[in-house]
Amino acid sequence: MTVLGTLGVLFGLAVLTGESHEGFPVCSGAVPPAGAQSVDTAYHSYRIGAFPLGLDCLWNMSDGSVQTQFYDSWAPTVEVYGGILMGLAGAAVLARRRPANRSPELEFEVPRAELPQSPLLMRAQMTDRSAVLQRTDGVAAEWLRQSLASEGRRVENLVPAGFDSYVRILNPVESWDARYIRSVTSWRDVAAAKGIGMRPSIDWDDLADDDGSTVFGEPASGTLDADVALHLAQLVRRNTQSGDECFSAIWTGYADTPTLAGVPEIIPPSRSMYVFTGAVEAIARPLHERIPLRWWPADHSWCLAGDLYGRSVYLGASRSLVRAILDDPQLEAYAISPLDDLESLE
């Protein structure tokens, strides 16, 4: 917005102060002065102190002289007034200052009181290990195909059984005001406002109005919240030794996911997905406008997954990592079992 405002001011000033050469056809509608043989050239005459604005037409006279004639043409006049409006609009844009806690990189702001450690700071703390993800073959996904339960609609159909602990992590309820400033609310607070008891297996439909939203907004679906993803990446890095070599998978069927080269992998429950490899910090970043909903490391020490259009993700891991997630005040998370029903969790 600052760039647009600056350009608007510069354009307006250029129109109001400049004198630009034009071809003679613009003066074809002017009445030539007595003795004029032909029109030579025309110049914009932008003199704010000499209204009305228009053109200076230069005529070749029969005596060999050149005579200047002011031509009040509506076209250049409209152009000048357009420049004035453009300059004023640019100045208005520049006058709107960005709030001090707004993150230019993320294009939205979150109150510092709600997120003491901002995503921008979290990104600044990341190292060169957070390189761009790379496509990989289907060997990495073979572990999921062999480990996931094939029957039912339980957590173990997304996250393999056998981990010490399991946790459900909720996307925050978000809304945007007229200035595109983001507000974040927990599911717990929405439930309290509606007089509904909060429980780990709560479904968003239990809290939402008939249109699927609330006065507080609604959680993102089909992706992991950007702040939550970045924070989870840091917790994985701090509490495990497996953050350097990880894998992620993204569904091929999203409308905003372009077709990529290569053959996708079929990952239970019957999802066609592209598989990528990189550091945990890399898989926490948007990939084709969405954050992948399947994460797992090469050593299979933990696994995170969410299903299509879900508003939460599930993670199986060591007790220490799950405890770190449950104790983190920046995340809304609940302990679950691999046998919990997915239908009641989404």
Q: Is the pLDDT of residue 219 over 60?
A: yes
Q: Is the pLDDT of residue 172 over 80?
A: yes
pLDDT interval class at 325 (50, 70, 90): very high
Q: Is the pLDDT of residue 198 over 70?
A: yes
For residues 256 and 290, the answer to whether their CB atoms sit within 8 Å is yes
User: Which carries the bigger pLDDT value, residue 265 or residue 240?
Assistant: 240
pTM above 0.75, yes or no: no
Average pLDDT, the chain: 75
Q: What is the pLDDT of residue 125?
A: 41
Query: What are residue 44's DSSP bridge partners?
Result: 55
b/e burial code for range 55-72 (CB count within 10 A of at least 16 → b)? bbbbbbbeeeeebebebe
Among the listed ranges 44-53, 76-85, 131-140, 266-275, which one has the minimum average pLDDT value?
Answer: 44-53
3-state secondary structure the chain: CHHHHHHHHHHHHHHHHCCCEECHHHHCCCCCCCCEEEEEEEEEECCCCCCCCEEEEEEEECCCCEEEEEECCHHHHHHHHHHHHHHHHHHHHHHCCCCCCCECCCCECCCCCCCCCCHHHHHHCCCCCCCCCEECCCCCCHHHHHHCCCCCCEHHHCCCCCCCEEEEEECCEEEECCCCCEEEECHHHHHHHHCCCCCCCCCHHHHCCCCCCECCEEECCCCCCHHHHHHHHHHHHHHCCCCCCEEEEEECCCCCCCCCCCCCEEECCCEEEEEEEECHHHHCCCECCECCCEEEECCCCCEEECCCCCCEEEEEECHHHHHHHHHCCCCCEEEECCCCEHHHCC
Q: What is the pLDDT of residue 287?
A: 74
Among the listed ranges 23-32, 160-169, 172-181, which one has the minimum average pLDDT value?
Answer: 23-32
Q: What is the pLDDT of residue 35?
A: 77
Q: What is the pLDDT of residue 343?
A: 56
Classify residue 64 as left (phi > 0), alpha (psi -120 to 50) or beta: left
Radius of gyration of the chain measured on its C-alpha atoms: 31
pLDDT interval class at 162 (50, 70, 90): very high
% of the chain at pLDDT higher than 90: 32
Mean pLDDT of 68-93: 62
Q: What is the pLDDT of residue 18?
A: 44
The token pair that represents 275 in the structure block: 């598989």
Mean pLDDT: which of 108-112, 253-257, 290-294 is highest?
A: 290-294
For residues 89 and 8, the answer to whether their CB atoms sit within 8 Å is yes
Q: Is the pLDDT of residue 15 over 70?
A: no
Sign of CA dihedral 321, 323, 326, 330: negative
pLDDT interval class at 62 (50, 70, 90): confident
Specify the pairing of strand 36-45 against strand 21-22.
antiparallel
Mean pLDDT: which of 54-63, 246-255, 317-326, 335-344 is highest?
A: 317-326
